[in-house]
A and B are shown apart, each in its own frame.
Chain A
Amino acid sequence: MRLHEYEAEEIFSKYGINIPLGGLAKTPQEVKQIAESIGVPVVLKSQVLVGGRGKAGGVKIVDNLDEVDIVADKMLKTELKGYKPEGLLVLKKVDIKKEIYLGITIDRTLGTPIIMISTEGGINIEEVSRKNPEKIFKFLVNPLQNLYPYQVISIVKKIGLTGEPLAETVIIIAKLYKVFREYDGLIAEINPLVLTEEGKVLCVDAVLEIDDSALFRHPELNKRKLDAMSERDKRLMKKGATFVKLNGNIGLVCSGAGLAMATMDMISDYPALSPANFLETGGGITSDLMVDCMELVLEQPKLDAIFINLYGGINPIHEGAKGIAKVIRERKLNIPIVAKALGNRQEETWETLEEVGVHIIKESETQKAVEFLAKLLGVKAK
C-alpha cells in the first residue's frame, strides 16, 4: 500500500522528522488560506499516487499570493497519468543549499534492510543508480538488532556533510529507520532531504509504501484500504487472489503467479491472442472464490475465450470446478472455455467441467492447451 505524500509526511513528522510549514488543501480557497498563513513563495504538489509526478507537471512553485488560487484551481482539476489528485499539499518553499537522497528498502537477496544515501538527490536518482552506483552509499542493517545512530555516521560523512547537518542527518536516518520497521515499510524515502541556507535539514518529499501482508498490524491503514475497495475485491484479497487488467482478448484464470506468467508468455506467441487479464487465485481456492474469479474475468470487454490453468496441490480444484460450472450454467455462457487442471482429485474436476461444455486438456503441457485454444479460435502462431 503506497501512501500519499501528505500521509507519509504526517507519519514522518510524528517521528520527529522536520518538514516545511504547510498542509493539505482540497479547494483553491483552502490552498490560499494556507499560503496566507505561511507566506509565499509556496510549492503546490498534486496528491496522486503516480511516479514521475514532477516531470508530469504535478508540482508548481507560486511566488505571488494573488495567483495561488488560480494555479491551485487548475492543478486540482488536472489528472496526472489518469488519476485525479486527492488534494494539494501546500508547502513553504525552502532555500536549498544541498539536496540529498535518503531511502530505506529491503535487499531481496540478502534479506536485510538497506539504507541508501546520495548527494545526487532529486528526480534522477534512478538514473544515478544505473549509471553511477558508486555515488550511492549503502548500509545494511542486521534485522535482529536495532539501528544505532553511530553506525550510519560514516555513510553520512561520505556525502560530505560535517558539523551540525551531519549530526542532524544521522538522527533523521535513525528516525526514518524506526518508521520503516514499525510501519512494515517496503520503501521509506526522503527525496530530497534538503540542507537549507540557514543550516536546517528538512524532509521535502516523503514516500512510504507499506507491505500489504502486514496491514493486519496497522488497523487504521487497513481500514482505509478496505474502504476504497469493492466487496468482490475484498473477498478476492482475503483469499489471496491477485487480478491485473491487461486489455487483451483471452481471459485467464490460473492457480499460481508463475503458472499465469508462463501461460501469458505462450499465449503471446500468437499475434491474434493476448491476455485480457492476469488472475492468480493463490492457494485458497473454493467454489465461491471461483465464482468471483469467473465473474471478474467475464467483465473484460473484448473476450474471445477463457483459458483456465489449475493445479491441485494445496488447492481443492474439484471445489473450484463447481464454482466455474455454476457460473457457466447460471449465465448460460457460450464463450469457448479451455481448461487444463491437474493434481489432487483431477478426475472429479474434469467431470464437473466437461458436464458444462468446458474443453478439457488432460496432458501436462500448458502449451498443448494453448495450441488447442488457438486452433479453436482459428489463429496461427507467428
Chain B
Amino acid sequence: MSILIDKNTKVLVQGITGNIGTTQTRYMLEEGTNIVAGVTPGKGGLKVENVPVFDRVEEAVNNFPIDVSLLFVPARVAKDSVLEAIDAGIKTVVLITEHTPVHDVIEMKAYALQKNAILIGPTTPGIITPGECKIGILPANMFCQGQVGIISRSGTLAYEVAANLCAIGIGQSTVVGMGADRVAGTNLVDILKLFNQDKDTKVVVIVGEVGGTQEEDASEFIREGMSKPVVAYIAGISVPPGKRMGHAGAIIEGGKGSAKSKIESLLASDVKIAKRLYEIPSLVKELIS
C-alpha cells in the first residue's frame, strides 16, 4: 500500500511537450505510470509518447478521469498552471519546477488549501510508490517495494536513502519529496499524518535539512499523534551559520532552524536520529524487524 499515489492513479503532465517533459514522460511510462494526457497551450492535438496533448487542463479533464497533475513548466508560469489545474478540479498537484517566486508559491498554497487540493513542491523530485507508480523525476532504479515511508526535503538525498535501504533488502511504501523551497505547498507534518494512517507503512524516515522550522513543527505532532516509529536525519550539521546553501530554504536564521535545534526537538519526541546519512539503514532495520 501507499500514500497519495498507487497503480490506479491517473496522471496528467502539464508542460509535456518540453524537453524535460517529454524525456521524463518516457521514463514514467517505462515504470508503468498511467499517464492519460498532457497539456501545453498551443500544442493541442499532438501526441507525446502516444499520450494525447490538449491546450487546456479543462479539456483534458473533460476527456479523461485525472487524479494527479504533474508540472514541468517554466517558473514564470508555474502559478498560472497550478491554479489552472486546481480550478479544473484536480486534487493533487505536483510542481517539479525550480526557482518559482515565493510570492507565487504562497498564493498557490493558499489557493490549494481553499479548494481542498494538495500541492506538492515546488522544487520537488515528485512521489514514487515503488513498483506501482512514479510521478516526477526520481530515478526508479534507486527504489524498491516495501514498508518504509520516506519524506525528504531534498530530492537527491531521497534517492540515496532509498537506495541504501534497498541494498539491505528494505523497501519503501511511498517516497515523497516535499520540495526544497522557502515555502512548501504541503508541510512535513501533513505528509507524516498520511503515513501514520497508511496501514502498510511500518516506519517513517524524515530526511530534513537546516533552515525553516518544518522538523521542529513535525516533532510536536510526532510526540502527540504519531503511532509509528520515526527515524530522522538532518543534513547540514557542518554548514557554517549564515551561509546560504542553494536551496532558498537552507538558511540558518539565528538559533532557530539549525541542525542542532532540529535534532534536539526530534530527540525529545523519541525520534531515532541518524547523525550521518549512512546510519539510517541500520536504525530502520532495528525498528522494522
Stretch at the interface among A39-47, A276-284, A289-297, A372-380: A276-284
A256 adjacent to B154 (CB under 8 Å): yes
Q: Across the interface, which residues of A come within 8 angstroms of B160, CB to CB?
A: 259, 262, 311, 364-366
Q: Across the interface, which residues of B come within 8 angstroms of A257, CB to CB?
A: 154, 180, 209, 245-247, 250
Out of B110, B156, B243, name the residue touching A258 (CB < 8 Å): B156
Q: How large is the interface on B (under 10, 10 to 19, 20 to 34, 35 or more residues)?
A: 35 or more
Write the chain A residue with the least CB distance to B156: A256
- Contact code string B137-154 (vs A, CB < 8 Å = 1, else 0): 111011000000000111
Q: Across the interface, which residues of B come within 8 angstroms of A244, CB to CB?
A: 243-246
A110 to B236, CA, bound (A): 23
Q: Across the interface, which residues of A come within 8 angstroms of B105, CB to CB?
A: 111
A310 to B19, CA, bound (A): 21
A108 adjacent to B182 (CB under 8 Å): yes
Q: Does B22 contact A (CB under 8 A)?
A: no
Q: Across the interface, which residues of A come within 8 angstroms of B210, CB to CB?
A: 261
A142 to B27, CA, bound (A): 39
Q: Which of B20, B207, B277 has the most CB of A within 10 A?
A: B277
Q: Does B98 contact A (CB under 8 A)?
A: yes
- Distance to closest chain B CB from A296 (angstroms): 14
Q: Which of A144, A242, A266, A364 has the most CB of B within 10 A?
A: A364
Q: Across the interface, which residues of A come within 8 angstroms of B157, CB to CB?
A: 256, 258-259, 262
Q: Across the interface, which residues of B come within 8 angstroms of A267, CB to CB?
A: 238
Write the chain B residue with the least CB distance to A181: B103
A280 adjacent to B277 (CB under 8 Å): no
Q: Does B171 contact A (CB under 8 A)?
A: no
In the complex with contacts A257-B245, A261-B210, A342-B277 CB distance below 8 A: no
Q: Does A55 contact B (CB under 8 A)?
A: no
Q: Does B99 contact A (CB under 8 A)?
A: yes
Number of interface residues of A (CB under 8 A): 57
A313 adjacent to B101 (CB under 8 Å): no
- Distance to closest chain A CB from B214 (angstroms): 6
- Contact code string A3-28 (vs B, CB < 8 Å = 1, else 0): 00000000000000000000000000
Write the chain B residue with the least CB distance to A340: B160
Q: Does A226 contact B (CB under 8 A)?
A: no
A216 adjacent to B76 (CB under 8 Å): yes
A338 to B221, CA, bound (A): 41
A181 to B210, CA, bound (A): 26
- Contact code string B214-245 (vs A, CB < 8 Å = 1, else 0): 10010000000000000001011111100111
Write the chain A residue with the least CB distance to B140: A344
Out of B103, B107, B239, name the residue touching A214 (CB < 8 Å): B103
Out of B114, B138, B184, B209, name the residue touching A313 (CB < 8 Å): B138
Write the chain B residue with the least CB distance to A183: B103
A325 to B154, CA, bound (A): 27
In the complex with contacts A108-B249, A266-B276, A142-B110 CB distance below 8 A: yes
- Contact code string B21-35 (vs A, CB < 8 Å = 1, else 0): 000100100000000
Q: Within residues 148 to 180 of chain B, which ones have a CB less than 8 A from any CB in chain A? A: 152-157, 159-160, 163-164, 166-167, 180
A364 to B243, CA, bound (A): 28
Q: Which of A212, A257, A275 has the most CB of B within 10 A?
A: A257
Name 17 A/B residue pairs within 8 A (Cβ), A-sorted: A143-B106, A181-B103, A211-B101, A242-B244, A246-B240, A257-B246, A259-B156, A261-B209, A261-B250, A266-B277, A275-B238, A278-B243, A280-B246, A283-B137, A343-B142, A344-B27, A364-B167
With A108-B183, A244-B246, A256-B157 given, name 20 new contacts (CB 8 A): A106-B102, A111-B183, A112-B106, A113-B106, A143-B109, A144-B111, A211-B102, A211-B103, A213-B99, A256-B156, A258-B155, A260-B245, A262-B154, A264-B239, A278-B239, A311-B155, A314-B125, A343-B139, A344-B139, A365-B160
